[in-house]
């Protein structure tokens, strides 16, 4: 995959587009494909917890930290759970809604298998 094939318009963060474009120059095709799939999945599930990856991980960190999309989903689940554990405890806390959306995402993933 080359920079020409990658549709930067799909991604919300301008900083992400900048980092991704610079990283493309030194990455292998396999790394590019993996990082692209991670960002795509996380953008599609941005409000389900994917924002953690989109906003906090650059491509080099993704390659260093994760070996599969399942690893990424598990990490997001841990972060969503940490946020849930640190909330104030009201029934209206946004962390509850994020956890519900994450759980639905995981249920949908299991049904695809």
38-67 pLDDT tens trace: 999 999 999 999 999 998 998 999 999 999
Tokens of 8: 């930067």
Domain assignment of residue 28, yes or no: yes
The whole-number average pLDDT for the span 85-101 is: 86
Domain assignment of residue 107, yes or no: yes
Domain that holds residue 62: 8-112
pLDDT digits (tens, 9 = 90+) for 7-42: 545 555 666 677 777 888 889 999 999 999 999 999
Domain assignment of residue 1, yes or no: no
The whole-number average pLDDT for the span 106-110 is: 92
Domain assignment of residue 2, yes or no: no
Helix intervals (H) in 1-113? 14-24, 29-44, 51-56, 59-65, 69-85, 94-112
Domain assignment of residue 69, yes or no: yes
HEC string of 85-96 equals HCCCCCCCCHHH
- The pLDDT value recorded for residue 92 is 82
Nearest to 34 by CA among 55, 57, 4: 57
Domain assignment of residue 37, yes or no: yes
Q: Domain total for the chain?
A: 1
Return the axis-axis angle of helices 94-112 and 69-85, rounded to nearest 10°.
Answer: 150
- The pLDDT value recorded for residue 14 is 67
């Amino acid at each position: 995959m080359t920079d020409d094939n990658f549709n930067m318009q799909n991604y919300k963060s301008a900083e992400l587009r900048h980092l991704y474009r610079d990283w493309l120059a030194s990455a292998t095709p396999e790394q590019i494909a993996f990082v692209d799939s991670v960002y795509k999945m996380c953008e599609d599930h941005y409000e389900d917890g994917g924002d953690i990856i989109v906003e906090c991980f650059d491509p080099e960190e993704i390659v260093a930290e994760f070996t599969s999309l399942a690893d990424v989903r598990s990490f997001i689940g841990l972060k969503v759970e940490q946020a849930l554990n640190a909330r104030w405890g009201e029934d209206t806390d946004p962390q509850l809604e994020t956890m519900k959306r994450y759980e639905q995402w995981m249920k949908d993933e299991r049904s695809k298998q």
